[in-house]
């Protein structure tokens, strides 16, 4: 069994400010994964056009996600950091995948239904094809592992369906060209060109909820800025937002059981645990029986301790956009070499003349 070489790929859209949820749920995981894996992290600027075509501050948004990656500790020399539009092979493979994916598959995508809303006729064709471009992002590098949030699981299943159909439909072309590798699909050995990507979902990372409503996800689109901690927030803003965070009048319980039915308490304890890299149980072992008037200042201190250095580094990086652009250009060049190799093989498998 020759299995694919492990490769991690993930993408973040350059829309809105990054917040604590993005950091704890995604970026911190990206940082951890680079220890033992070859990683490619992409600012998916072409995806940003799907919901809204014109972005006044597109370049700043791209740079700010890049700055967050670098400030959090992603090593752009060892790994690859770039923005999607610098590698046109993503769009090229996406076109082929548009012809692999079936309309019936796309119609099942729940995120399209949510984002398109009631007036589906007015949604862009790009929004509909979004998951096909996402599959191409990953598979143009034949990446095997994708750290994403729960909401992207369905898109990854679609990527597997696309990979599987391509592998099956072109099987008679893949085998003689010698381009695929043997993989196991369930119990079956299959000779495949594209791997079956696996999501790396959550693990210890929490679902970070709004500071104003513990039942809603922390979101960059929430109209209230007090609902989230942005990675660009300074110490005063972090402290103010945590002090104003919604709570209930009771003291903290000593066991996680006691967090049931207390979404705001659960959220703040979860954030504390994630920032401290421990469990909620450990946090409650320390703070059980204490009032929020004691817990919140401790959370402020911890949040500032973890986030202030990232914040400072992001600000420093953002003062030198030329440097960020150079990092992206270098990453783009290296990504293009790999993507073009795949595309040449795909062209050969399909039978395009080149």
Q: Nearer to ligand TRP by C-beta: 13 or 210?
A: 13
Q: Please, which residue, 84 or 247, has the CB nearer to ligand TRP?
A: 84
Residues 154-183 within binding reach of ligand TRP (CB under 6 A): 155
Task: Indicate the residue among 40 and 229 with the shorter CB distance to ligand TRP.
Answer: 40
**Between residues 47 and 142, which has the closer beta carbon with respect to ligand TRP?**
47
- DSSP for 135-191 reads HHHHHTTT--EEEE-GGGHHHHHHHHHHHHHHHHHTHHHHHHHT--EEEEETTEEEE
Is 153 part of the annotated catalytic residue set?
no
Distances (CA, A) of 224 to 79, 230, 245: 36, 12, 12
Which of 115, 165, 173, 246 is flagged as catalytic?
115
- Residue 341 known to be catalytic: no
- Note whether 283 binds ligand TRP by CB under 6 A: no
Q: Which stretch binds ligand TRP (CB under 6 A): 93-101, 121-129, 146-154, 281-289?
A: 146-154
- Can you tell me which of 13, 227, 267, 311 binds ligand TRP, judged by CB under 6 A? 13
Out of 165, 220, 246, 341, the active site residue is 220
Phi, psi for 42 (deg, rounded to 5): -125, 135
List Cα–Cα distances, 216 to 132, 136, 219, 272, 283, in angstroms: 28, 31, 8, 18, 22
Number of residues lying near ligand TRP (CB under 6 A)? 13
Closest by Cα among 46, 9, 71, 35 to 320: 71
Q: Which of 173, 212, 217, 341 is catalytic?
A: 217
The radius of gyration of the chain from alpha carbons, rounded to an integer in Å, stands at 22
CB-nearer residue toward ligand TRP: 11 or 180: 11
Q: How far apart are CA 93 and CA 79, in angstroms?
A: 22
Identify whether 115 is a catalytic site residue: yes
Pattern of binders to ligand TRP over 18-57, x per CB under 6 A?
--------------------------x--x----------
**Least distance between ligand TRP and beta carbon 47 (Å):** 5
Strand residue runs (E) in 161-294: 181-185, 188-192, 198-201
Q: Which of 4, 10, 63, 241 binds ligand TRP (CB under 6 A)?
A: 10
DSSP structural state of residue 73:
T
Q: Rule CB under 6 A: say whether 11 interacts with ligand TRP.
A: yes
CB of 127 to ligand TRP, least distance (A): 11
Whose CB is nearest to ligand TRP? 11
List of residues 6+ apart from 266 with CB closer than 8 A: 214, 259, 260, 280
List the catalytic residues: 115, 217, 220
């Amino acid at each position: 069994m020759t299995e694919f070489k492990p490769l991690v790929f993930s993408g973040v859209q350059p829309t809105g400010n990054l917040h604590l949820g993005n950091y704890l749920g995604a970026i911190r995981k990206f940082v951890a994964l680079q220890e033992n894996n070859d990683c490619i992290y992409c600012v998916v600027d072409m995806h940003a056009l799907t919901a809204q075509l014109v972005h006044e501050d597109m370049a700043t948004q791209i740079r700010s996600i890049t700055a967050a990656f670098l400030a959090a500790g992603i090593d752009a020399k060892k790994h690859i950091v770039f923005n999607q539009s610098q590698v046109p092979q993503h769009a090229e493979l996406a076109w082929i995948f548009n012809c692999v994916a079936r309309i019936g598959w796309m119609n099942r995508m729940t995120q399209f239904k949510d984002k398109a809303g009631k007036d589906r006729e007015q949604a862009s064709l790009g929004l509909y094809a979004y998951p096909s471009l996402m599959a191409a992002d990953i598979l143009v590098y034949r990446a095997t592992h994708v750290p994403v949030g729960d909401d992207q699981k369905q898109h990854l299943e679609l990527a597997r369906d696309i990979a599987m159909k391509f592998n099956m439909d072109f099987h008679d072309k893949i085998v003689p060209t010698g381009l695929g590798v043997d993989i196991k699909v369930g119990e079956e050995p299959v000779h495949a060109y594209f791997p079956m990507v696996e999501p790396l979902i959550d693990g210890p990372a929490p679902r970070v909820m709004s500071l104003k409503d513990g039942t809603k996800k922390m979101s960059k689109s929430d109209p209230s800025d007090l609902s989230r901690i942005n990675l660009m927030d300074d110490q005063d803003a972090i402290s103010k937002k945590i002090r104003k965070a919604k709570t209930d009048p009771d003291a903290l319980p000593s066991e996680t059981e006691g967090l049931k039915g207390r979404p705001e308490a659960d959220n703040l304890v979860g954030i504390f645990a994630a920032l401290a890299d421990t469990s909620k149980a450990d946090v409650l072992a320390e703070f059980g029986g204490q009032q929020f008037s004691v817990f919140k200042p401790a959370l402020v201190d911890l949040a500032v301790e973890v986030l202030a250095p990232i914040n400072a580094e992001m600000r420093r990086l953002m003062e030198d956009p030329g440097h960020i652009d150079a990092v992206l250009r270098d990453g783009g060049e290296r990504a293009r070499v790999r993507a073009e190799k795949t595309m040449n093989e795909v062209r050969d498998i399909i039978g395009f003349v080149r």
